[in-house]
Structure formats: structure tokens, C-alpha cells
Amino acid sequence: MQELLYLVHRIPYPPNKGDKIRSYHLLRHLSERYRVHLGTFIDDENDRKYLAKVRNLCGETCFLDLHPKVARLRSLRGLFSGQPLSLPYYRDKRLQAWVSNILGTRPVRDALIFSSAMAQYVSHASHVRRTMDFVDIDSDKWMQYAATTSWPMSWIYQRESRLLLGYERQVVRDFDSATFVSEAEADLFKQLAPEAAAKVTYFNNGVDADYFSPQNIYANPYPTGTSILIFIGAMDYWANIDAVEWFARSVFPAISAQLPKVEFYIVGARPTATVTALAALPGVTVTGSVPDVRPYLAHASLAVAPLRIARGIQNKVLEAMAMEKIVIASPQAVEGISASPDQELVVANDESEFVSRIITLLQCVPNRALGRAARARVLKDYSWNESLGRIDTLLSQPQTS
């Protein structure tokens, strides 16, 4: 069996948030074809209980603790070295030593790197075929953050965007190939780095359509006699925080004024103080972590994705579509999803459109055809087996760099 080095910025389990869903399915797929040597960080102590499960999919492993507060302080070195802050944030001499040992002692021919900051560990490993899974264009995401904040943070985010884009372009020049989470994301990067366009491709995220199936039966977690709008996501992630705060404060009050029995549920782990405070608003519930999001999806009236900052593909949208839920989303939230507006999901451009379209949808007879069409789209275009076949094709090509 061939051997492969796989570096991931966060332990690829459990698959309960966007990056972990993709990195886990990649690991599981690769483990069927390669002896995978995994190097990764643990930034949540709760994830330690999954180490054995991850090890079972791997050959050699290196799990290192990453304390976010310490890493943020370490990242400030980038201000003095002219580097993007993301690089010192994830820099660790122990991981570098482990990578060097693996590449020096094991017959590794391929390295797959997940997230741009991890590329620094194989920057000089030109003797192996290196594939970079950027997933999203992180540099563009930092630019979006800059547009939503004031100085001095806006300056820091603009700096990060500029320097990180330079680093992303360098990585693609040095590596053999680079992938993104959607065709739209890949096309945008080709515009930002035209010199590397020939090396850039994509593979979609997938959905476990059997797990997220509308045929499964669940107890109703909601109060009787209510209509539920649901948002699901990791609630310590800035883009999700911004989305639910905007929706709860600027959109939902106008909906509940006309439809008093409508409630807004925010479902997801690690809610920040900003998110928790939203539970004080009338009709808003913040659940925190739940054992299974599917009962909440199954019994919700509508799934909302009012993201104003977004890149790539939103798994929360695909999972709701797989369960035949009508999803009403911002253009940013559906940018990388090949679904037809008003036929497979609903797009709202601003506050007034969210209000009017949600009220219309809640007052009408449920549109079962739209929900069925949504699931059909997921089954057609977002199967993990089909998506990950593109990685097999990449790894079978000759080395170019």
C-alpha cells in the first residue's frame, strides 16, 4: 500500500462543522487507498476522546495541543516578520520535526495539505507530490472581515488578506496541484492568481444523504403550536455569529410582529456571549450543543442561512436540503451551491426580502415540491463518493513541480 502524508489544521473528527466534515471524509477516503500519516492539532479538549477512532484510520500520527489564546499571541510575530498572522498561529517545531522524520524515513510519495497555513511544513519537500486543499479562499474571507470592522482591526484584516493571498499564490506555484470546495471558488482564485490557473481545480463537499434523510422519524423538540425558523452552525465562528445576530435583531422582530407564533432557534455548539445574549430576545432560543441536529431540522418549518460573510460551500445548507427542508438563504450562503433559486431553495438579498419571503412561505401551504427538488439536487451533485473521486485523479497524475 502506498503511503501518504496528510496535514490538517484541526483534528478531522468529529464531522460536526464545515472543515471537519470535509477533512474527515477525505481521511476516510484516503485510508482505503493509502497508509495515511496524519499530523494535526487539537484546539478543543473535548476532541481528545476521538483520538482512537482517528488513529484507526491512520498509520503514524502526531496530535499536538493548540491553545487558541497562546496561538493568537504567537501569531503577532507575523507583524514583525512581514508574514500573514496565520502562519505563526499554526507554527510548531514539534510538528515540523515529526513531518521531517516521516518524509525522511517513510516511503511517502504524496502529501495532501488541508488549509493553507499547514503548507509551511512541506515548503521544502519538493521530492514528494504536494496537493493543497485550500477549501476556501481564506485571504478573501479576511477581506470580508475587514469590511465589517473598524480600525485598527480593519487594518489588521486587510493586511492579513493581502499577505495571505501572496502566500496562497506562492503555494500554488510550488505545489503540484490545488483544490477548492466549489467550481466558483476555484474560478475566483484563478482570477486572483492567473499564473497558476492550470494547477487549480475543485471537488465539492458532500452530504451523507442516508444520515440526513427525511424518512427518519424523530421526536419533536419544539413547543407545540409553533412555527420554527432554524439556524444550525458552530456558534463560535465569526460568520455564524454575525449572521444570527443580524437575523435575530434586524429581521426576526418584523416576522414575529406579523406571526407571533414563530420562533427562531439557534442550534450549535460553543455559543459566544454575543450569541447567548440573543436568547433574551422574544421568541429566540439558543440551544448550545445538542446530541443530534436532525430532530431540530426535521421539525423546523424553514431553515435560514442569512450569512453576510461566507466563502465556499455551506454544509448547513446542503444538510437542510438533504432533509427536504426549504432553505432561505443570502446570496453569499449559496454562492458555491449549484441549486436553482425558487426551485430548489429560496434566496433573499436583504432584510426586507428575508422578512417578506419568510412570511409568505409560512402563510402558504408547505411547498413539498421545493423540498423534494432540494434533496434531488443534493443526491445528484453532492455525493462524497463522486466528489472524492477527483482527488484520486489528482493523486494519480505525474509530479509537476
CATH of the domain at 65: 3.40.50.11720
Residue 400 placed within a domain = no
Same domain, 191 and 289: no
Same domain, 108 and 182: yes
> Residue 394 has what pLDDT?
85
Same domain, 286 and 358: yes
DSSP per position, 254-281: HHHHH-TTEEEEEE-SS--HHHHGGGGS
Same domain, 250 and 288: yes
Write the CA distances from 382 to 68, 186, 204, 313, integer angstroms. Answer: 33, 17, 7, 11
CA contacts within 13 A on the Cβ side of 204: 22
Q: What are the pLDDT digits (tens) for 171-202?
A: 999 999 999 998 989 999 999 999 989 999 99
Q: Residue 222 has what DSSP assignment?
A: S
**Residue 280: is its pLDDT beyond 80?**
yes
Secondary structure of the chain: what % helix, strand, coil (to 5)?
Answer: 50, 15, 35
Residue 211 placed within a domain = no
What is the rounded average pLDDT of the residues 227-240? 94
Same domain, 387 and 377: no
DSSP 3-state of 303:
strand
Same domain, 77 and 186: yes
Residue 95 placed within a domain = yes
**Residue 304: is its pLDDT beyond 60?**
yes
Residue 260 pLDDT class (50, 70, 90 cuts): very high
Cell 507583524 appears where? 79
Q: What are the pLDDT digits (tens) for 204-229?
A: 898 999 999 999 999 999 999 999 99
Domain with 174 in it: 3-205+383-395
What is the rounded average pLDDT of the residues 48-52? 96
**Residue 397: is its pLDDT beyond 80?**
no
Mean pLDDT, the chain, rounded, equals 93
Residue 216 placed within a domain = no
Write the CA distances from 78 to 73, 131, 170, integer angstroms. Answer: 10, 25, 17
**Residue 299: is its pLDDT beyond 80?**
yes
What is the rounded average pLDDT of the residues 88-103? 97
**CA-CA-CA-CA torsion for 171, 18, 157, 89, nearest 10 degrees?**
-60
> Residue 365 has what pLDDT?
73
Q: Residue 221 has what DSSP assignment?
A: -
| Chain centroid to CA 243 | 15
What is the rounded average pLDDT of the residues 333-358? 93
**Residue 17: is its pLDDT beyond 90?**
no
Same domain, 41 and 155: yes
**Residue 155: is its pLDDT beyond 60?**
yes
Residue 18 or residue 126, greater confidence: 126
Same domain, 195 and 332: no
> Residue 30 has what pLDDT?
96
Residue 198 placed within a domain = yes
* Predicted TM-score (pTM) of this structure: 0.88
Q: What are the pLDDT digits (tens) for 305-323?
A: 999 987 778 889 999 999 9
**Residue 9: is its pLDDT beyond 80?**
yes
**Residue 147: is its pLDDT beyond 90?**
no
Residue 329 placed within a domain = yes
Cβ(12)–Cβ(45) below 8 Å: no
> Residue 336 has what pLDDT?
80
> Residue 103 has what pLDDT?
97
DSSP 3-state of 207:
coil
Residue 393 or residue 296, greater confidence: 296
Residue 401 placed within a domain = no
Same domain, 390 and 360: no
**Residue 401: is its pLDDT beyond 70?**
no
